[in-house]
Amino acid sequence: MAKGEVVPLSEDEQRILHEIERSFYENDPEFARGVSQRTLYRHAGRNAKYAALGFIAGLVVLLASFASSLALGMLGFLVMLGSAFAFERNVRKIGKAGLQQVTQSVRDRGLAEAFGSARKRLRDRFKRDG
């Protein structure tokens, strides 16, 4: 068997797996609901947001304190560096499929339409002025 080859489950294994799943949903429905709502993409996206905020906080610390305290400036730089690595790692986890899921959710919420209408208003305003 080659590495990474997928072997389908037998009917008996599928039946056992369905029984375990049913039992899981019956015994702890709240936990089962919580697990089913969380995805790798949502988790990685949230971590990427926190990493971006950490990067901005590190930049603020660096800019605010570098002239007065070299140690605080270096600490700000290290926070920025760590946040950049964390951001990169989480964006890689999201991958192309995750980015498609994120863009679809943005479209579903109507944010794309809001930006589109703002762009149209700006275009119309500049056409009138020009």
User: Does residue 10 carry a pLDDT above 80?
Assistant: yes
Tens-place pLDDT, residues 62-115: 999 988 999 999 999 999 999 999 999 988 887 766 667 666 766 666 655 545
Task: Name the average pLDDT for the chain.
Answer: 79
What does the DSSP assignment read for the chain? --TT---PPPHHHHHHHHHHHHHHHHH-HHHHHHHHH--HHHHHHHHHHHHHHHHHHHHHHHHHHTTT-HHHHHHHHHHHHHHHHHHHHHHHHHHHHHHHHHHHHHHHHTHHHHHHHHHHHHHHHHHHH-
